Structure 1
Amino acid sequence: MKKIGLLLGLTLLVGCSAPSAQLKLSSDKENNRASSVSKSPTVSIPFKTRAQASQIEKMGADILEVQPGYLVAIVSPKVTRLLKEKGFTTTPVQVGNGQRNVFDKGYHTYASMVEELKSTVAKYPSICQLVDIGDSWEKTRGQADRDIWALKITGPSKGQKPNILFDANHHAREIVTTELAMKLISYLTTGYEKDAQVKNWVDTREIWIIPMNNPDGHIKAEKGLDWRKNTDSALSNDASFPPYGTGVDLNRNYPFHWGESASDNPSDPTFQGPGAFSEPETQAVRELFKQKKFAVSLFLHSYSNLVLYPWGYSADPTKDDARFAAVARKMASYNNYTPMPESQLYVCSGGSDDWAYGEMGAFSMTIEVGGRKDGFDPPYASMDRFWKENLPSFQLLLKIAHDPWKEKI
């Protein structure tokens, strides 16, 4: 996408190719999710301290969840050897529906998401604008034609309005997050003329929703790969085990304390990239933040049934820890998830929440949707449960957007 004009490269729609040979997908068993899991199993790894959990991640373990005294991760043979050398033990575990290796037809593909967004704008032109906020990595290399889309929802009333962002699908395989974002869009647009509270939120706030921050990676998930990162192949072309292969972990690519505690190995699942904001997908978020100066941001991930808040890079509390904790507890009272600072899981740097709060001043949080029995690709029917669990949290953040630091919760 060419960056021109005062919109900082954001292309506004008002009212309404193939990847490289090294990344080419086939339909044979070598490339489906079951094959990748069988080659690199999901295991339980006991640990005693938070520092040990962080050490395990830096060794290249693809951590799925963290529980008191142990974590669950996908580990390659190389990582298994490193863990053994450092004295860690591993025990195989089953991760439920996430290993079905099925992309249910109810889930949005990139193409169907774009089609629905354009249809929504056509149907609700007075409150919706579709914005091209950037290009995927493959588009920047001429390998595909995928833009990163954001939907702006706000009423026609003038005056200063707080900006709030809901962002989904930083990690490719976390497909349920795109669905929650699309359901939120439907809730706000269809409810505008029917629900007085929804109308008030839309009229008095500027709501931005990015349903798919990582479209290239999502395409991999659509085809059955257990893909986490984007598809940046500049430094790594190891596609033999998708979570450890090609790409950059977009949620380790933000500049706030970048490089302190994420992996610098290009084939690791949490590879931080060659530099902060090296990826077009995170650059797109940066440019939108610079323009809109969001008061509140929520990043949707899966899975672990968690409500998370800064810091991630440090075990020290933020100066706003009491407020973050209070809001997180309130959100957890709705969805029965566990509220905690991100670093209580393990210390990791370069995350979106730390940057959005620490550098941009937003009240920024993360929800990890679903549990181990759900995994990354549960039956689409699970979306009804996820929506009921998390809508009240979305409503709470919409409610406090005018003053997230003091508004009564």
Structure 2
Amino acid sequence: MTRYLRAVSAKYPELTALYSIGKSVQGRDLWVMVVSVSPYEHMIGKPDVKYVANIHGNEAVGRELLLHLIQYLVTSYATDPYVKWLLDNTRIHLMPSMNPDGFAISREGQCDTIHGRHNARRHDLNRNFPDFFKANTKQPQPETEAVKQWISKIQFVLSGSLHGGALVASYPFDNTPSSRICRSSVLCSVFQNYEHTPSISPDDDVFKHLSLVYSKNHAKMSRGVSCKSGSPRFENGITNGAAWYPLTGGMQDYNYLWHGCMEVTLEISCCKYPPAHELPKYWQDNKQSLIKYLAEVHRGAHGFVMDENNNPVERAAIKIKGRDVNYHTTNFGEFWRILLPGTYRMDISAEGYLPQEVEFIVIDSHPTLLNVTLRSAKDVTTRPTTSESEEAMTTSIITTTMDPEETIVFPED
């Protein structure tokens, strides 16, 4: 894999950048490939997205699909308008293997075993992240720590985690305060028909939509495929994570609650490590889903928060009324908020500035550009009147496409 990634990066230096976020327990690099027209630096006003695969070393399909996706994106840029639009307006970070040590001991053709699932210290990496609902007492692993540092350095907006062993898109929350955690080494709750209560996030509507985008663009997932006798059949190929089986220390809840990155767990194959000759079929089944899912980062509202001197306001808190999750602006004052069509009210606050509230509308086909100027609190010596408060904010709201010459942001098939 390392040779392949280096070869692609050398062949397409204008579209790719290869970097390692750290090392596994046994010293293997945790490689990430950026695919974008700006692979080496953040594009101001353009979001960063990611896919992470092979967090369980024996779940190999996602690893191979991301290698296929890299090749597809770089070779299609010059000929496919959709791919060109995506790479022109998005930085895509692809991590084919978060658990290379586990993959190294896994065996092709093993569909149901757990051999290779854990890292070299026998830890399940998808139970190793900080958890909002329950204290996670497991020893942090090098692979998990590397991902945590990575996410803290790059403000990702959208993410997908690729798994195997089922065919479903599973969305937050994965955990719940009253969950009954399955502690069996054989994943006792995965293939048993336990009835669990959904653990609903503030962005449940958006997470369901993102999950449906993946499942409905997949060749089979939306049919509610049951992979084996006794395993659940998911309506439309999606499920709330805790309703399927609750877990502590999962990566998708961590992304969302700690960093404001919307992540869905994508279970993309009934067999965890199928024979190599079957990989082309898996690629064809998932190709459209992988691409269309990433494009959803351009849905909703995005923009800048600036001060009166047109300087970016860093780490301003962005909160949608009725959605009790805080998002923050980047060092450049940027923000993105994936939202479905509707009317919203957004609170913007930052230390040293007057807090503001903005109402805006999101439509289905185009993102809403929302630029806000905050006034310094130092300029106000007394509590502002309503009129003064209104003067403290300048807002421009534009519903537009990413490219004025494009008629749609989400092209039809």
Contact 1:248-1:273 within 8 A present in 2 as well: no
Structure with more of its chain in helix, by fraction: 1
The within-5 A match list for 1:1-400 is 113-139=1-27, 146-156=28-38, 158-222=43-107, 226-232=115-121, 247-257=122-132, 274-275=138-139, 278-314=140-176, 315-335=198-218, 336-337=220-221, 338-371=237-270, 375-400=271-296
The whole-number CA distance in structure 1 between the counterparts of 2:154 and 2:132 is 23
The whole-number CA distance in structure 1 between the counterparts of 2:60 and 2:106 is 8
Structure with more of its chain in strand, by fraction: 2
Measure how far apart 1:258 and its partner are: 7.1
What is the identity, as a one-letter code, of the residue corresponding to 2:83?
V
Measure how far apart 1:332 and its partner are: 1.7
Measure how far apart 1:303 and its partner are: 1.5
Measure how far apart 1:226 and its partner are: 2.0
Report the count of equivalent residues: 261
TM-score (normalizing by structure 2): 0.60
Structure 2: give runs of 5+ residues left out of the alignment. Answer: 177-197, 222-236, 300-337, 341-363, 366-409
Measure how far apart 1:229 and its partner are: 0.4
Which has the greater radius of gyration? 2
SS of 1:134's partner is strand
What is the identity, as a one-letter code, of the residue corresponding to 2:276?
Y
SS of 2:148's partner is helix
Contact 1:166-1:300 within 8 A present in 2 as well: yes
Measure how far apart 1:402 and its partner are: 2.7
Map Cα deviations across residues 251-308 of structure 1 (whole Å, 9 max, x no partner): 0001023756xxxxxxxxxxx7733xx1111111111111111000000000210111
Indicate how the Cα distance of structure 1 residues 154 and 330 shifts in structure 2: closer, same or farther if over 3 A, else same: closer
Measure how far apart 1:222 and its partner are: 4.8
Identical aligned residues as a percent? 29
SS of 2:151's partner is helix
Measure how far apart 1:156 and its partner are: 3.8
The whole-number CA distance in structure 1 between the counterparts of 2:339 and 2:83 is 22
Measure how far apart 1:123 and its partner are: 0.4
The whole-number CA distance in structure 1 between the counterparts of 2:201 and 2:268 is 24
Measure how far apart 1:377 and its partner are: 2.0
Map Cα deviations across residues 85-138 of structure 1 (whole Å, 9 max, x no partner): xxxxxxxxxxxxxxxxxxxxxxxxxxxx00000000010001111001101012
Contact 1:175-1:218 within 8 A present in 2 as well: yes
The CA RMSD measured in Å over matched residues stands at 2.0
Contact 1:258-1:350 within 8 A present in 2 as well: no
Aligned to 2:187: none
TM-score (normalizing by structure 1): 0.60
The whole-number CA distance in structure 2 between the counterparts of 1:122 and 1:394 is 24
The whole-number CA distance in structure 2 between the counterparts of 1:289 and 1:203 is 22
What is the identity, as a one-letter code, of the residue corresponding to 1:149?
W
What is the identity, as a one-letter code, of the residue corresponding to 2:23?
D
Structure 1: give runs of 5+ residues left out of the alignment. Answer: 1-112, 140-145, 233-246, 261-271
The whole-number CA distance in structure 2 between the counterparts of 1:130 and 1:273 is 33
Contact 2:172-2:199 within 8 A present in 1 as well: no
What is the identity, as a one-letter code, of the residue corresponding to 2:260?
G
Contact 1:356-1:364 within 8 A present in 2 as well: yes
What is the identity, as a one-letter code, of the residue corresponding to 1:115?
R
SS of 2:247's partner is coil
Measure how far apart 1:177 and its partner are: 1.2
Moved more, 324-333 or 161-170: 324-333
The whole-number CA distance in structure 2 between the counterparts of 1:133 and 1:195 is 31
Indicate how the Cα distance of structure 1 residues 333 and 195 shifts in structure 2: closer, same or farther if over 3 A, else same: same
